[in-house]
Structures are given as structure tokens and as C-alpha cells.
Amino acid sequence: MSSRSDILARLRGTAVPAVSLPAYPTIPELTQEALVERFRANASAAGSTVISGNLNWSEIISSASPSAHKIYSDGNIDTDKSVMRSFSLPETLSKSHTAELSRTRTSTDNINQPHSVLLDVAVLTSHLAVAENGSIWLTDSVEHRVIPFITEHLIIRLIDYDLVATMADAYDRLDSSLAFCICIAGPSKTADIEQSLVIGAQAARSLTIVLE
Amino acid sequence: MSTTVARDIEAYVRDEKRVDWHDESLWHIRSKRDRSTHGLPEWEQLRQTASQIKEHVISKLPDLLEEFERNATANGVKVHWARDAQEHNEIVVQILQSQQIDKVVKSKSMLTEECKLNHHLEKHAIQVVDTDLGERIVQLRDEEPSHIVLPAIHLKKEEIGELFHEHLGTDKGAADPKYLTEAARQHLRTKFLESTAAITGVNFAIAETGGVTICTNEGNADLGVNLARVQIHCMGIEKIIPRWTDLGIFTRLLGRSATGQSTTIYTSHYHKPRPGTEMHIILVDNGRSEHRKREDFRASLKCIRCGACINTCPVYRRAGGHSYGATIPGPIGSILNPTRKPEDHAELPFASSLCGSCTDVCPVKINIHEQLYLLRQDITETSVVPASKTRSFSFLARILTRPRLYRMAGSTARWATRNLPRWAIYHRSNAWGQYRDLPAAPQDSFREWYMKNRTS
Ligand code: SF4
């Protein structure tokens, strides 16, 4: 007998009383204002930086990483001339610019040269955020799945986004047929050495969330 | 006073301090858990819902596994089935060898610890690097994790500094956690980049979608998986949940119960491999289908491995994880290990004060302390040798033959005679207590002691 049929037969050989699936708890709704406030507070508590209002991309990038020179962006960003010159970067960061700049073609065909995705900063777009834990969601539209993890610093632009109260609301909204999706609730962290919290364990050292 | 005696006293005091330190570290995490759950008015409803979903899973397990397999296969995932640890390990080796892969990174997975996968890979000349920081620390020390969520909770930063000096070339005497974590980051990044396969554990596997969910704080599972051309996810068959939206219940419970975080930093969902790469999922039984037959203990299959019962356990906090001599320590380990391997772990249910704190914190409402009590009876009744001797003695013997454990456990015994109620000390498995009183009987009852000390 194959292991599969063996395991299934053993399981079926034990009668376990049926238990029905429960309904989910209903959670009181919050106003948009309260959601934003919660989101900001929880994101900051997790070590993220939340930015909104007048955006200066050169400043945002340089405050994440003053010496950044390998930058990836999944959209067009207008940057300030003088600051970008000091990074020796073009004035508008677009996908093609960044690719050329970092000699990074972050497509799946160069997975065999993973060094090419060693980025200083990645700027990615998200459309879903969760107030209860200050998290944002990325889906398969990320050009290469490793980018949000391998980059030293991660900047997330929330554009045309839904801000929901809880993880339960997020799962309700997400398409469950996505090949890949991830919820990120702050910079990479660990407390494995004597319970001392260290930010920047293995994946992104910082997370900046930009509300657009 | 001779210098030897002075040294002994000094060592003794230091070890007492170490036990206190271990106790306090764990209690600190337990307190964080309390704070984060108290902030959530629907907490009890979430627990109840999660518990019922998991009960449903246990009752429908074969159907859900088939549904999961069907959907995963349709997504282009290769699903494997393993009866036991041996078969699981062979499947992993076979996948890797068929691709001529000899370097693999692995994120935290209690299942692969249970199966002793690392050992098996090394026997086949496959380099395996554990990438969770705590796991990497214990791997370099050639030790087992002492906790399911905090693998290196038993170690002092100075010991880790010494270890990293030896293996990673950090400065001698350096013990700053930030510095050591940075050194590990650089070291592990080279491992991620040179590995073409990644192994992970699984927190939840969704029957409805055929995908797996993995929760980490470091992002190490995702770094491994997304740089590799072969990804392998290893899971016990009880990790199934029926619906995608059930994750909305479980992810709200897991992080809060584990460390008091509102969620783990990374919650990733893998449904399909990237183009040109392979994704494998191994469904492992290894005693679970037998465990499921036992009505009294079936509910412990609901466990989501959050570690809350371990953090709150007064025995674990004083004795340390290695004293249990089992992959999963603490209250839940004291059910899972002896239920599946009574010949090796029969003494574990006796290493509990039955205070019930574990049951109070469990996010999926497992009646942990009741099961421990039933398991004691079960073991005492079915055993051919007098339970009192084998059980307590082998637990003690293991501690006494391992000096590092002894330091922790010696103090636990002293603490236990001071702090446990009479019935816990003079129950029938303790032959020493039947005809004479143990010295230094407790002044407070355990409960009084507990109430007084829990706030500290
Ligand atoms: S038994 Fe409950 S509290 Fe203990 S690890 Fe499992 S889920 Fe967590």
C-alpha cells in the first residue's frame, strides 16, 4: 500500500465525531479616522516609519539609506535633482532606470545570479493595509518575490489602498488564488539573543510606509 | 573556608541566578502575551472559534488532506506523503539528490526537528544551515532547541558571543546582541546566496486553496524560499485548516500568544512555485494518525505551536527545555511525546504541577493539564514496571547525567519542595514521599505562591 493510502486508511479507520465549522466572530466597525490612527500607532510600535503629506522622494530614500546606490522601484518616482546627483542617480527613478543603474534585471530568468538582487533600497507599491498590526500586503505583482526580503531597506507606497481593521478583514478582501502574497508588519527583527530586540535581523533593516 | 568550597558556593549562587534569569525571561514573554490579548475584546471568541475549527479539522482530516492535495497539485505543487520520520527524510534527500543539490537552507520547523532531518542530510553529504538566528545558534552548538519559538532562550549572550567568536570570527569577548545579530546576518546571507534549495516548516496549510502559510519575524524563510530553485515545505498532517479566511482567526491568535506581538512580522502565503522552479510539500504522519485514535488526547492535535503554555509553565521556566529530553518541551510536549512514544517519554506527564496555567493561555483551548492528569493514569495503569521508579528516576537520571541541565534542575527540585502543594510532591509516583516528609515543606500553598509571584 502506498503511504498515501495507508495514512488515509488509518485516518478513516478511526471514527471521530463530526464537528461543524463555526461562524466567525463579528467585530465592531471603526471609523476611517480611527483606523488611520491605529494603523500609524501600530506600525510605529513595530518599528516602521510612516510618512504622508508633501513627499520628497530624494529625502525619503536618503533617510532610509544615505548611501544607497542600488535602488529598485516598481513605479515612477520624481526625485530632487541635487540630492539624486549626490547619489549619482537619475532624477526620475523608473523601473528601467533602476534596472540599468544597479545592473539588476530582477526577472525570474536571472535567479541563478542572485547577487544581482542585492539591493540597498526597494520601493514597492501596496494596495492593502491592516490597522491592528500596522501591516501592508504585497502580492504577486512584485516582479521578483525575493525583493522585499533581500533589500537592505524597504519603502512601501500605499496607493489607492484599502485600510482594514483586522487580519480577518484582510483575508476577506484578498484573492485566495494568488500564487504568492505576503503580509509585512515591520522591519525584520529578532530577540533570539537574551530576549534583546534587534531590528534588522535578516531581511529588510527598515520599513518606511508612505501614504499617498 | 577552603578556596574549593568558596568556588563551589560561588558557582552555586551563579547557577541560582541563572535559573532565576531563565524564569524571569519566560515570565516577561508571558506578561507581554497578557498585555496584547487583554487589548482585544474579542479574544475569547477568537479562541473559541479557532478551537472549533481545529476540532472540525481533526474530525474531517482525511477529506481535508485530499482536498488540499488536489488543490496543491492543480497549482503545480508536488505533494508527498510520509508515514514516518524515516520516509520523510528519504523524500527530502531524494528531491535534493535528483537535482544534484548539496547545499540547503532551512527555516524553523519543529517537524524536521522531530524527524532529525539535519542528521540525515549530513549523512548524505548535504550541507544544511538553519537560518532562524536562534536555530543557527543551537545548530552551531550541536544542541537541540530548548523552546519551540525561542530556540536559544537557555543561553546567555556571553556564551553566544564565545560561539560566534569561534565559528563566525566575531571579536573575542564581544556579547552585544546587536553586534552578534549583525554578524549572523552577514554569515547567513552568504548561505542564502549559495543555496539552491530551501526547506521550511508550515504554520497553516489551506485545504481550500492548496497553499501554505509561514510565519517568521526574521524573514529568513522567505529569503531562503525565494532565492532557491527548489522549495520544500514539511508539515505534520494536523496543520491543515479548511478555509482561506480561517487564517483571519489563526494569524490573530498566533503572534499574540507566542510573544505578545499583534502579528509575526512576515506572514507569507505560497500557492504556486515561481516559473522555472519547483515547490514540494511533504505531509507527514509520524504517529499522528495513532494519536488521533485516542479520544482523551485527540484534542492536543489542535496545537498551533505558539509556545504560550511553555512560557507560562512554572516547571519549564525553572527546569529549562533540555530537561525534557524531547523535541517539544513544556506542557504540550509532555502530552505529545509520551502519547506517541511512551517507551521514551513516560515520565514527562509527571513533570508538571497541574496548575492549569497552560490551559488558561492556550489559544486553541486544549485542555492541557487535564490531559496530563489522564496521561499519568494511563501510563501508570498500562505500565508493567512500577511507575514510581522508572518515571521519576529516568527523568532525574537524564538531568543528573547532563551537567548543564543539572544546574537548572537541581534548583527546580529545591524550588519544587518549597513551592509545590503536598499532593504534587507526595503523589504515588514519588516513593520517597510516601513514608516520610521531604524537608522544608512549603509554607505557602502553590497557588498562594503563584499568585504572589506572578506579578513580579
Ligand atoms: S498547546 Fe496551546 S499554548 Fe501550547 S503551544 Fe500548542 S497552541 Fe500554544
For residue B251, report the distance from its CA to the centre of ligand 1, in Å. 14
3-state secondary structure at position B2 = coil
Q: Which of A16, A144, A191 sits opposite B58 (nearest CB)?
A: A16
Cβ–Cβ contact A19 with B under 8 A: yes
Residue where a domain stops, chosen among B230, B256, B286: B286
- Host domain of residue B100: 40-286
| Domain annotation covers residue B230 | yes
Pick the residue with more confidence: B382 or A147?
A147
B140 is written with which cell numbers?
552551531
Specify whether B65 is located in the same domain as B207.
yes
Confidence class of residue A116 from pLDDT cuts 50, 70 and 90? low
| Domain at A30-211: CATH architecture | 3-Layer(aba) Sandwich (3.40)
Nearest CA among A164, A194, A18 for reference residue B252? A164
Structure pTM?
Answer: 0.86
Report the mean per-residue pLDDT for chain A.
84
CB-ligand 1 contact for B253 (6 Å cutoff):
no
Would the CB atoms of A188 and B219 count as touching at under 8 Å?
A: yes
Q: Which residue is associated with the grid cell 549619482?
A: A88
A21·B261 Cβ contact <8 A: no
pLDDT in 10s for each residue of chain B, 456 residues: 344 434 544 554 557 888 899 999 999 999 999 999 998 999 999 999 999 999 999 999 999 999 999 999 999 999 999 999 999 999 999 999 999 999 999 999 999 999 999 999 999 999 999 999 999 999 999 999 999 999 999 999 999 999 999 999 999 999 999 999 999 999 999 999 889 999 999 999 999 999 999 999 999 999 999 999 999 999 999 999 999 999 999 999 999 999 999 999 999 999 999 988 999 999 999 999 999 999 999 999 999 999 999 999 998 998 899 988 899 999 999 999 999 888 888 888 887 888 999 999 999 999 999 999 999 888 877 764 444 545 554 554 454 444 444 445 545 554 454 444 434 443 434 333 333 333 333 444 444 444 555 543
Instruction: Residue A132: list chain B partners with CB under 8 A.
Output: 252, 262-263
Q: What is the ipTM of this complex?
A: 0.90
- B275 in Cβ contact with A180 (< 8 Å): no
- Counting Cα atoms < 13 Å in the Cβ hemisphere of A186 gives 29
Q: What DSSP character marks residue B24?
A: H
Question: Is B156 within the bounds of a domain?
Answer: yes
For residue B124, tell me if it sits in a domain.
yes
CA atoms B336, B337, B340, B345: torsion sign: negative
Cell reading at A91: 532624477
Cβ–Cβ below 8 Å for A184 and B265: yes
Position B344 scores a pLDDT of 83
Q: Cβ distance A196 to B155 under 8 Å?
A: no
Statement: residue A57 has pLDDT above 90:
no
Q: Which of B215, B257, B310, B362 to mutate to test the pocket of ligand 1 (most atoms within 8 A of CB)?
A: B362
- Domain annotation covers residue B382: no
**In chain A, whose CA is at the least distance from the CA of B83?**
A3
The larger pLDDT score, comparing residue B291 to residue A101, is at B291
Query: Over B150-205, what HEC string results?
Result: CCCCCCCHHHHHHHHHHHHCCCCCCCCHHHHHHHHHHHHHHHHHHCCEEEECCCEE
B331 Cα: distance to centroid of ligand 1 (angstroms): 8
DSSP B300-356: GGG-----HHHHH-HHHHHH-GGGG-SSS-HHHHHHHHHHH-HHHHTTGGGS-----
**Cβ contact B134–A190 (<8 Å):** yes
The pick from B47, B332, B369 for probing ligand 1's pocket by mutation, whose C-beta has the most ligand atoms within 8 angstroms, reads: B332
Question: Which cell is A186 given?
Answer: 515591520
C-alpha grid cell for residue B230? 527548489
DSSP A116: G
pLDDT at B349: 87
10 Å CB burial of residue B53 (0-12, 13-18, 19+) is buried
Could you report the per-residue pLDDT of A73-98, keeping only the tens digit for each?
Answer: 887 676 655 555 555 555 555 554 44
- The three cell numbers locating residue A84: 539624486
Q: DSSP letter at B363?
A: T
Question: Residues A93-108: what's their mean pLDDT?
Answer: 41
User: What residues have CB less than 8 Å from B371, skipping those under 6 apart?
Assistant: B296, B297, B299, B300, B335
pLDDT band at A202 (very low <50, low <70, confident <90, very high): very high
Cα B365 to averaged position of ligand 1 atoms, centre (Å): 8
> How crowded is residue B65: how many other Cβ atoms within 10 Å of its Cβ?
23
Closest listed residue to residue B331, CA positions, set B342, B316, B346, B317 = B316
Q: Is A19's CB within 8 Å of B55's CB?
A: yes
Of B251, B286, B321, the domain-final residue: B286
Could you tell me if A159 lies within 8 Å of chain B, comparing CB atoms?
A: no
Phi, psi of B124 (to 5 degrees): -100, 20
Show the CA angle centred on residue A22, arms to residues A20 and A24, nearest 5°.
165
Bridge partners of residue A77, in order along the sequence: A93
- Distance between alpha carbon A111 and the CA centroid of its chain, in Å? 20
User: Is B255 close to ligand 1, i.e. is its CB under 6 Å away?
Assistant: no
From B260, B286, B312, the end of a domain falls on B286
Q: Which residue type is seen at B298?
A: R
Q: Is the CB of B362 under 6 A from ligand 1?
A: yes
The CATH number of the domain holding residue B51 is 3.40.50.10420
Are the beta carbons of B205 and B282 closer than 8 angstroms? no
Domain total for chain B? 2
For residue B333 and ligand 1, the question of a CB distance below 6 A is answered with no
Q: Is the pLDDT reported for residue A17 higher than 60?
A: yes
Cross-chain residue pair A202–B58, CB shorter than 8 Å: no
- CA-based Rg of chain B, rounded to a whole angstrom? 22
Residue B133 lies in a domain: yes
Ligand 1 centroid–CA B90 distance in Å is 29
